Structure 1
Amino acid sequence: MATPTPNGTKEPLPVLIAGGGCVGLFLALLLCQSASIPHKIIVVEPNTPEPTDTRAMAHQPIIFPFFAEAGLMPELSKLGTFSSGICFRKSVKNGSELIAGKQFKEGEKAQLLLPQWKFQDLLIRKVCAQTARGEVRMGSKVTGCEEREKSVVVKVADVDGEEEEIEAEYLIGADGAKSTVRKLLGTSLEGETLDAQLVATDIRFDFHKYGFYDANFVIDPVNYGLIGRIDNEGLWRVSYGVPLDTSEEELRKSVDEKLKHMLPEEGKAGYQIQRIAPYKAQQRCAETFWKGRVGLCGDAAHLTNPYAGLGLASGIADAASLSSVLIRVLSSQSADSAKLLSSWSDARRQKFLAVVDKPSRMAYMRVRTNVDSQENVEQLLQKDPLVGALKKGMPMMPPSLATSGPELEGW
């Protein structure tokens, strides 16, 4: 179905993306960049990016090819900085002793450090620059949808509660862990909540002064976590775990006490807290990423803990592969559209379970390992291939997150 235009031609229905985070906007940009489809791409997002919104702040080298394909790497490289090193170290009570680490040389592939709001801001500008194709509606959210034979009617409400209906070719939910679109689909997230809450605390502190690398995985059964540089202005992420049943009030009261166990002894009085964001550590995956004319990607489709760095990376890979599939379908080139979308869903589920879920669970267990003694450290180096490889100066690259469209059934 399409909307008649004044000159008698039919204007194709838009593609609507719920969620203007990095994944939803990246998908929108890839669709807007395609010359094969004339469809308008509409993104609806309730919240405007704020400079305090650092959230996801590191991009893995394995997804750089996706950014390069979209022509984003030069600008992303200017907006962010590249990590100078990564290491595993003991907790402060054990002297912050280095277990294994690597300092990157100029030109070596390293994490791109970029606060989420900066990435979102760039993507919004890029999508909106496609004036005839791209539209980002801030302050709006999807509240309902009804599938028809050849379209899906989506209810969208603004901040004042005013609701409108948009008839679209497809609706994609990239609206995060608490996805409304996933709930509308009636699709459950299979998996489990892990036995801790994680607290992402952004502070201003000079960790370099005390010999810390740009990315430090702190290994300890209790005082485990990640200490990572966010920018060049002294902002760092200190992520740590607390018991699952800790209330938010208790959690906020205990931040300073917890930071005493994460920061080096000499500098414990010299930090400034900028942001505290608690969340549950989860390993979950939707039973399907696609039904009819509605799909899911990113955190709306799967959740993982941050210690393998594969959360946002897998969402970007979802968007990259889904864009190629949708372009194939919308340009009427697919052999079987329904089969292709279903095949994409199966492939992405399998990719999450095989390539993201298992390494992420291992990473969560790794940071909680007992390394109090040298014997414990030697056992870790022998049993853990990633730490062992880093000790030898050869960081392991994870398997590919990509899904090849032409290899999918129905292409």
Structure 2
Amino acid sequence: MATTKSLANNTTTNGATTTPNPLPILIAGGGCVGLFLSLLLTTSPLSHPIILLEPSSPDPSSTRAMAHQPPTYPILSRIPGLLAELIATGSLSSGLCFRTSVGHGSRVIAEKKFDNRGEGKGQLLLAQGRFQEVLMRRVGERGGGDVRIGWRVVGVEKRAGGGGVRVRAVHDADGREEVIDARFLVGADGGRSLVRKELGASFDGETLDAQLVALDLHFDFQRYNFHDANFIIDPSHYGLIGRITSSTPALWRVSYGVPLGLSEADIEAGVHDKLAHMLPNAGLDENGKRAYEVVRIAPYKAQQRLASTLYESGVCLIGDAAHLTNPYAGLGLASGIADASSLADVLLRVLSNQATDGEKLLRAWSEARRAKFMEVVDKPSRLAYARVRSDVSSEEKVQELLQKDKMVGALKQGMPVAPKSLETKGEELEGW
């Protein structure tokens, strides 16, 4: 039988005086976004305990998000030494390009080479599992964060008397339950977020018209002069070919689309046929044998979705729990990191009693982050998804793309379009 432990009466007794301790900030979800928020809060002046619940131990082999955008570098640099450590753990991309599919000559349409001197200007190539490892270790070193592996949130309700939420959590392995009174609950628990459902927020948007496959493999792309990131433009055999590691042999991501409705078995059965259309020389060596080794196949539905609110009654949403986007603009994890950064500032302002109106500030933060997603993440991501599915089968069609697509056209001219900021500044919000 499950046992329940209540952490509602969180007090300290000094002689005859009983002083309530500050209620904790509870973070549901220990992915990169939840861990980064935990790290920001534990390095802040807050006296509130930080508790992070994560159902499973981080998988160091996980490669889900594998390329991280330069606009996140100033955000990551809020933690001294973190960006340099992440770069040292992974590597920096030497360049990216847009190119035609192998069937149309694998021709480079536009490209950009990166100058990686100093802390680097190219994309950071770092598998998500390794990213999590770095953040988890740093949270542990700080000593202010209580990371509880094996725990997940199963229920949320307003705390009697106001001023927070009461959270029910369960330990999956043995069924233990805890009731935790928290000042704030932050849902960083992914696209299927239970916290979002408990909040009652709708998840508005759509599932895109193709299922995407993230396939990791070993193949010598550099032999064929591929860049570290290659956006393949083709109506049928579109996708992304990008380096994940600099090991020998290097691990690469080949992302591509398949029709909706295919089963995982059908997708796996079609892998080699798809790779024959996407890899140079159909992926074969000089003897006609497969020159690649498939390591991982991960199909998923591409989504463009945004929660109807990111804050209500002591509960906040960040990362994939708040919004989802397709991977072709590389803004999914980046926007979640920006969520965490701005929320840390807002929570510090509210909990240090400096906000002119804490509730108004949190609601303003929610609307600002929703607007930022729509303008800076959703639109570019939809354009990027449409771009890779363009027809560039002839020189005339290539020129049409260069004329109508500002980003590719500017890259061709050596003047890449500067991305808009992902950040939200708390001091500019109502209630600050």
Paired amino acid for 1:127: V
SS at match of 1:261: helix
Q: What is the aligned counterpart of 2:127 among 115, 119, 125?
A: 115
- State the one-letter code of the partner of 2:296: R
CA–CA distance in 2 between the matches of 1:85 and 1:210? 15
Q: Identify the residue that residue 153 of structure 1 maps to in structure 2.
A: 166
SS at match of 1:208: helix
Q: Deviations over 1:188-224 (max 9, x none)?
A: 1111111000000010111111110000000000000
2:68 corresponds to 1:56: no
Shift of 1:109: 1.2
Alignment partner, residue 144 of structure 1: 155
Q: Which of residues 72, 90, 100 is equivalent to 2:100?
A: 90
Deviations 1:331-388 (A, max 9, x none): 1111111100000000000000011111100000000000000000000011101111
User: For structure 1, which runs of at least 5 residues remain unmatched after alignment?
Assistant: none
1:100 aligned to 99, 107, 110, which one?
110
Report the alpha carbon displacement of residue 9 of structure 1 after superposing the two structures with TM: 3.2
Q: What are the residue-to-residue correspondences of 1:369-408 with 2, within 5 Å?
A: 369-408=390-429
Count matched residues.
Answer: 409
1:255 equivalent in structure 2: 271
CA distances 1:246-266 after superposition (whole Å, capped 9, x unpaired): 111111111111111111016
Q: Which of residues 31, 50, 60 in structure 2 aligns to 1:21? A: 31
Match of residue 312 from structure 1: 333
Q: Which residue of structure 2 aligns with residue 327 of structure 1? A: 348
The corresponding residue for 1:173 is: 187
Decide whether the 8 Å contact of 2:60 with 2:133 is kept in 1: no
Report the residue type matching 1:115 in the other structure. A
| Greater mean deviation of Cα atoms: 276-285 or 258-267 | 258-267
Partners of 1:106 and 1:401 in 2: how far apart? Answer: 22
Q: TM-score normalised to the size of structure 2?
A: 0.93
Contact 1:52/1:275 (8 A) holds in 2: no
Report deviation, 1:95: 1.5
Contact kept, 8 Å, 1:227 with 1:238, in 2: the verdict is: yes
Select 2:319's aligned residue among 289, 292, 298: 298
In structure 1, the residue corresponding to 2:266 is in which secondary structure?
A: helix
In structure 2, the gaps of 5 or more residues are 1-7, 285-289
The Cα shift of 1:48 comes to 1.2
Cross-structure match for 1:124: 136
Identical pairs, percent: 59
- CA deviation vs aligned residue, 1:83-121 (integer Å, no higher than 9, x gap): 000000001111111111122234261100111011101
- Distance in structure 2 (CA, Å) of the matches to 1:179 and 1:23: 14
Paired AA for residue 43 in structure 1 = L
Report the Cα distance in structure 2 between the residues aligned to 1:2 and 1:252, rounded to whole angstroms.
53
1:67 maps to amino acid = L
Cα contact 1:142–1:154 (8 A) shared by 2: yes
SS in 2 for 1:333: coil
Please identify runs of 4+ aligned residues in structure 1 that moved more than 4 A: none
Q: Conserved in 1, the CA contact under 8 Å of 2:61 and 2:130?
A: no
Q: Does 1:163 align with 2:177?
A: yes
Output the CA distance in 1 between the equivalents of 2:283 and 2:11: 67
Q: What displacement does 1:50 show?
A: 1.5
- Over aligned residue pairs, what C-alpha RMSD do you find? 1.2
Alpha carbons 1:84, 1:213 under 8 Å: kept: yes
Deviates more, 1:378-387 or 1:268-277: 268-277
Match of 1:344 in 2: 365
- Please report the TM-score for the alignment, with normalisation by the length of structure 1: 0.97
Q: Residue 232 of structure 1: SS of its match in structure 2?
A: coil
* Equivalent-residue separation in structure 1 for 2:283 and 2:126 (angstroms): 25
Q: How far is the alpha carbon of 1:2 from its aligned partner?
A: 7.0
Contact kept, 8 Å, 1:2 with 1:11, in 2: the verdict is no
Q: Which has the larger radius of gyration?
A: 2
Distance 1:130 1:2 in 2: 26
Report the equivalent of 1:5: 12
Letter in 2 for 1:250: D
**C-alpha displacement at 1:267, in angstroms?**
3.4
SS at match of 2:185: strand
Q: Does 1:47 pair with 2:61?
A: no
Residues 389-409 of structure 1: CA deviation (Å, up to 9, x unaligned): 111122222110110101101
Alignment check: 8 A CA contact 2:275 2:282 kept: no
Structure 1 counterpart SS, 2:299: strand
For 1:69, what is the secondary structure of its paired residue? coil
Deviation at 1:10, TM superposition (A): 2.7
CA contact (8 A) 1:89 1:219 kept: yes
Q: Residues 141 and 157 of structure 1 are in contact (CA less than 8 Å); yes or no, is this contact kept in structure 2?
A: yes
8 A Cα contact 2:275 2:283, kept in partner: no
Q: Which residue of 1 aligns with 2:223?
A: 209
Query: SS of 1:199's equivalent?
Result: strand
Q: Could you tell me which residue of structure 1 aligns to residue 3 of structure 2?
A: none
Residue 77 of structure 2 aligns to a residue in which SS?
helix
Counterpart among 261, 269, 287 of residue 245 in structure 1: 261
* Residues in 2 aligned to 1:145 and 1:167: alpha-carbon distance in whole angstroms: 10
